[in-house]
Structure 1
C-alpha cells in the first residue's frame, strides 16, 4: 500500500510540474512582426516596439520578426502565417502590412506603426481617431502645415516645388495632396512627380530637377529604400530635397521636420503591453502619435549646396 501511495504521490508531483509548465507556457505571449521593407525608419520603429515588449515581459514574450523586402505577396504570406499560428498580437509595420493584416484577420489584435493616415489606409469614413474592431496603432505623420512653412523659411525665393513620391502608396498621395494645398497657399507652384516603383525613380527625379527649384519627398517607403538614387540625381543637379522623415534626409535631403521612429515604435510597444498584460480593449484605443517633432538639417549636403540653415535647426546625427 505504501509503495502504491508513493507512486501516486510521485505521479501527482510530475502532473503538478507539467501543469506548472503549461501555465508558464500560457503566460508566454507570441507576437508576430511584419515589416514591409528594410530602411532606417521602419527598422527603428521595429526596434523600439521590441524593446518595449522585452522590457515588460522579458523571456515571457516570443517575437517572430519577418521582413517582406518590399514584396507585397510575401507580406501576405507572412501575415497569413501569423494568423495560422494564432499569434497573440500582430505588429504591422507600414501601411501595406496594415492593409494586409486587416484583410487577413478580424480576431487577432493588430497594431500598426509607421502608418501615416489610418483613414486613408483602411478607407474609413467619418474617422474620429479610433479605428475600432481589432485595429489600433501609431501614426508617423508630422504636421504638414509646419513642413510647408519650413520650405518657405528655407527657400523663400523658390518658385516651383516638385513633389516626388510613390504613386502606389496611398499615404504618400495623401501627403502630396495636403502639401500641394499648403504650398500653393504660400505662393508656390507645385508639380507632382509620381513613380510606380524603384525602376523609374531615377528618370522621374531627373525630370523634377530640370523643372523645379526645390523637391519635397514625403514619408514614403519606396523613396526611403531608394534614397541613394534620389541623392545621385539631385545633389549633382544642385537641387535641394526637403524630406518628410530623417532617414530619407540622412541620404538625400537638406532638412526635415521629423519624428523619432524609435520612439514611435516604443509607443506602439507600450500599447501592446496594455493589450496583452492589462487586457485593454483595442477597439477603444485611439491612434497615437509621436510625442514631438524636430527641425533637423543634413550638414554635409547643405555644405555641398552652399545652403545656410537657421540656428534653431538641429544637426542631423549621421549613423
Structure 2
C-alpha cells in the first residue's frame, strides 16, 4: 500500500509520540508522478502551476517525474503503470484520458486530476455530489458553459447554423456539447445547432472543412485534440470567413475570435494545494471535493476579429 495515503491514528499517542510524528512528517520526502496527455499551452500551464505550488511548499523534499503521453491513450496507460510500479506518493493526471488510466491502475495511490472537465463522466459515476469517494479527486477546467453559450449569441446574433466541433473520443467534449446545446435552447436561439465530430488527428481537417462550409459560427469546447490542431483549424476557418468561439484560452489563441476562459496556471496551483494537503496534512482524498478555478474572463483575439469584421464589446480583454 502506498505509504502516504493512510490515516494516522492520533488517539492515544503520548506527547512525545506526537512530537516524533510531527518531526517525521517534516523530514518526509515525496515523489510525484505527472502524466500530461499532450503538449499545448493549457495543459502546460496547469502542470507548471502545480509544480510551482508544491515546490514552494515542500522545497527539495519533493521530486517530480514528468511524462508526456504525446496524445496517445496507450501511452497514458504505460506511463501510469510505471508510476504505480514505482509506488510514487501521488499521481497528477493532467487531462481526462490520463485520469481514467490512473483510476483504473490504482486504488491506493492518491490521484489528482487537473484539466478534467467532467469527473462523473470520466470516472463513470452514476451519482455525483462533488466527491468521488475513492483515491481520486482534483480540479475541473469547466468554465461556465451557460455564459459561453451567451457569448455565441452575443457575438454572432444572426447565425443560422452553429457548429460544435470536437473529438468524439473525448468524453469531456461530449459533456460540454450537451450543455452548450441545451443552453442555446434556453436562450431562445433560433439557429440550427449541429455537431461535427472527428475521431482524431487524421480526420480533423476533413471534418473542419465540412463544418466551415455549412456553419456561420463554430464552437470548440476544451478539447485536447482540437487544441493540438488549432493552427490547422484556423487555416481552414479563417479563409472561409467563419468565426470560431472556444472553450479556453489556448485553443482561442490558435484559431478563435473569443473565449470565456479560466486560468490554467491557477487551476494547477489549486491542484498543488490539494496535493500538499494529502501528502503533508494526511487529508483523506476520498473525501476531497473536486475544485474549480475561481476566476474566469472574457478574452478576444483583435487581429482575427478585425479580419472577420466582428465587433467585440468593451468588457472583453485582448489576448
TM-score scaled by length of structure 2: 0.90
2:195 corresponding residue in structure 1? 192
Q: Give the 3-state SS of the residue equivalent to 1:277 in structure 2.
A: helix
Contact 2:25 2:280 in 1 (8 A): no
CA contact (8 A) 1:255 1:295 kept: yes
Q: Could you tell me which residue of structure 2 aligns to residue 305 of structure 1?
A: 308
Deviation at 1:290, TM superposition (A): 0.6
Is 1:245–1:259's contact at 8 Å kept on the other side of the alignment? yes
Match of 2:165 in 1: 164
* 2:58 corresponding residue in structure 1: 57
CA contact (8 A) 1:119 1:127 kept: yes
State the 1:125 CA deviation.
1.2
Partner of 1:115: 116
Post-superposition Cα deviations, 1:246-285, rounded to whole Å, max 9, x if no partner, equal 0000010000000000000110001001111111110110
Determine the C-alpha separation between the residues in 2 that align with 1:33 and 1:61: 12
Structure 1 CA distance for aligned equivalents of residues 255 and 37 of structure 2:
22
Are the aligned partners of 1:36 and 1:96 in contact in 2 as well (CA < 8 Å)? Answer: yes
What is the alpha-carbon distance in structure 1 between the residues aligned to residue 258 and residue 26 of structure 2?
48
User: Secondary structure of 2:44's match?
Assistant: helix
Aligned-partner SS, 1:283: helix
Whole-angstrom CA distance in 1 between matches of 2:191 and 2:135: 42
Q: Structure 1: how far apart are the matches of 2:136 and 2:25?
A: 28
Instruction: Map 1:97-108; keep pairs closer than 5 Å.
Output: 97-108=98-109
Q: How does 1:125-140 map to 2 (within 5 A)?
A: 125-140=126-141
Determine the structure 2 residue equivalent to 1:254.
257
Q: 2:36, 2:212 → 1: CA distance?
A: 31
The answer to whether the aligner puts 1:265 opposite 2:274 as a matched pair is no
C-alpha contact (below 8 Å) 1:142/1:293 kept by paired residues: yes
Residue 11 of structure 1 corresponds to which residue in structure 2?
A: none
Runs of at least 5 residues in structure 2 that lack an aligned partner in the other structure: 1-23
Whether the aligned pair in 2 keeps the contact of 1:183 and 1:189 (CA below 8 Å) is no
Q: 1:220-246: per-residue Cα shift (whole Å, max 9, x none)?
A: 000000001100000000000000000
Q: In structure 2, the residue corresponding to 1:130 is in which secondary structure?
A: coil
Residue 184 (structure 1) shift: 3.0
Alpha-carbon separation, structure 1, partners of 2:91 and 2:166: 28
Shift of 1:188: 2.2
Contact 2:94 2:115 in 1 (8 A): yes
Give 3-state SS (helix, strand or coil) of 1:230's partner. helix
CA RMSD of aligned residues (A): 1.2
> Number of matched residues?
294
Residue 7 (structure 2) pairs with residue 32 (structure 1): no
State yes or no: 1:275 paired with 2:261: no
Distance 2:26 2:283 in 1: 21
**Which SS does the other structure have where 1:270 is aligned?**
helix
Distance in 2 of aligned mates of 1:73 and 1:169? 14
Residue in structure 2 matched with residue 178 of structure 1 by the alignment:
179
Deviation at 1:26, TM superposition (A): 6.3
Indicate the residue corresponding to 1:72 in structure 2: 73
Q: Distance in 2 between matches of 1:25 and 1:154?
A: 53
Distance in 1 (CA, whole Å) between partners of 2:144 and 2:83 is: 34
- Runs of 4+ aligned residues of structure 1 deviating over 3 Å after TM superposition are 23-26
**SS of the residue 2:281 aligns to:** coil
Secondary structure of the structure 2 residue equivalent to 1:302: helix
SS at match of 1:84: helix
